[in-house]
Structure 1
Amino acid sequence: MDLDVFVSTHRAEWDRLEALLNRRRRLTGAEVDELVALYQRAATHLSVVRSSAPDPRITGRLSQLVARARSKVTGTRKASWQDIARFLGQGFPAAVYRARRWWVPTALLSVAVGVLLSWWIATHPEVQAAFGTDADLREMTRPGGEYENYYSSHPAASFAAQVWTNNARAAALCLILGVFLGLPVIWILFENMLNLGAGFGLMTDAGRLDVFLGLVLPHGLLELTAVFVAAGAGIRLGWTVIDPGPRTRRAALAEEGRAALGMAVGLALVLFVAGAIEGFVTPSGLPTWARVGIGVVAELAFLAYVWVLGGRAARAGETGDVEEAGRSAAAPTAA
């Protein structure tokens, strides 16, 4: 292709498109139609130049024109309070509800593994020796020891922020790494259950399980549920790579990935609540029954939120994906 001839042939169209884009007054109906037509032609011209004669100067100008025209034609949409309300009232709980067949079994299996690890550690002194000497273990489990002081060793606000950051990171990793067939997610879950099982096992052997439960349950119920939801969604994303169903693998991953991204945002809010409980309630002077009661109420509230609001939204067709206008165009696929 002769680039000079091509440019001289179409330069007038590009100049006219630029003039319409620079127009400050409102465009008439005829001018809007002309803008759309010129935008489509410019996009075609850009494709031709890139494939046949990739001149940086011409490609740069056309790219800028096409981007500006696309923004003018499609418009820009700003997030509003309605979007936030829709996400919290429909999108997020529906995504969690739809993923229940993945995260509920994940939670049950993880808890079973945690219980087995706790029993193994509590009943095998040689395993306990791997966590430290007898003196170290006594220091960890004694009244006022490391396990109890952990929750009051820092100011409540900074401790809550630190806990929230760490937990949100773990949940995000479960969602992101799920695409690798879910294998990294399983390892993250095992590490969490091992750490929790070690605490349960060592405190059980020291005869102070009731104290440990009073420290863990207030925040741990909601915190672990959020991690299990993230892990289940991550494993589902990994399974999508293997079996995308009637969708193309690319479309399936895009849809599930967008839903997973929304879940990451929602779970960050859930973990913020869990972090606040861990920072302010767990180390407080409230009696154990009151602290545990707050944790149980928070957990039941979240489950009701998912099953009531999420179930209703899911039955109405909500998937947790972005609205159709925000998705890429997709070709139809056979069922």
Structure 2
Amino acid sequence: MYDKYKIWLAIAPIKNSIKLELLKELKDEKNIYNFMKENSNRKNRLVETLLRTYSEERLYNLQELCEREGISFLNIKDTKYPKSLLNINEMPYGLFYKGNIDKLNNNDKKIAIVGSRRASYYGKNIVEIICRELKDTNVQIISGLARGIDGEAHKGSIENGIYTCGVLGCGIDVIYPKEHKNLYKKIIENQGCILSEFSPDAPPERFRFPLRNRIISGLSNLIIIVEASEKSGSLITANWALEQGKDIMAVPASIFLEQNKGTNKLIKDGAYPFTSVEDIINLLEIEKTYNANKNVRKSYSEICDRIYEILTSEPMHVDEIARSSNIDITQLYGVLFEMQLREEICCLNGNYYVKVNKSI
């Protein structure tokens, strides 16, 4: 059963700190509403804003939407409320969510992985390796369900049986970007969680994403930034993390690319550099059974080995591969196709190829 006064206060466009102060003084949400009604004749911006937000029809429609779409709601007084958010600046008064939110309160290590929406193959490969090598450990992956690195973090978590939570910069009934519709569903189907502090029907407006980022960092023990320009929203997450006293790790990359300037600067300013998954394991003191042979690449032929050694994480055109390997182009296409089937390499647009690294 939804409490309309709690929903009303949750969607009210005022600071969370003001909501919490009102709740502290007036004890519950209905009392807050009654107090506002009693003072409706006063020219006070807060009173006017709260009363303008209160609409029986809108609250009824939101309640119907939540019931129809399986959306749950909790506030700071609820025992399920994520305890890690209770001490952050502007802690959200309430959260709308789908899926299993209970796990956010267990003792698993929680790692936020965020980064560029225009992720390169290098960045995607790094996220893939992190998720694969953290399989069967006591970790959770937190991210923002955005394009690029965020989406790869959620996908990698699902593929490796890791609990993942997506924090939205819009309403929970608004899937953004639209191409993540299936990913959104898979997170919930795999016992993960989607949550948002905004009204369930709130559109993805620009001002919401920096607010979302404080929740991502607030839920996490460690924030890993993968590919971020100097103006990237991921750096906002890093700033929140600094304010909250959280550890930050950044993935180093080419100094010539704009999308790496933010991450490289973080390292220069003192963030932990990511050089292998062992860095994460050691920093968070994660218990892990390591199999030294599990990621050793199997040799299939001398030609395959030659091509694998030539390729890197930087795209290489098929003509350059042919010149470097001294292999006939017709034979080369056949070998490249076989290696793609074994997921040793990946073909990009324009006949460019990159190596698929299985570990670091």
Q: Same fold (TM over 0.5)?
A: no
TM-score by length of 1: 0.22
Q: Which has the higher strand share?
A: 2
Specify which structure has the bigger relative contact order, considering alpha-carbon pairs within 8 angstroms and separated by 6 or more residues: 1
Larger Cα Rg: Structure 1 or Structure 2? 1
Q: Which has the higher helix share?
A: 1
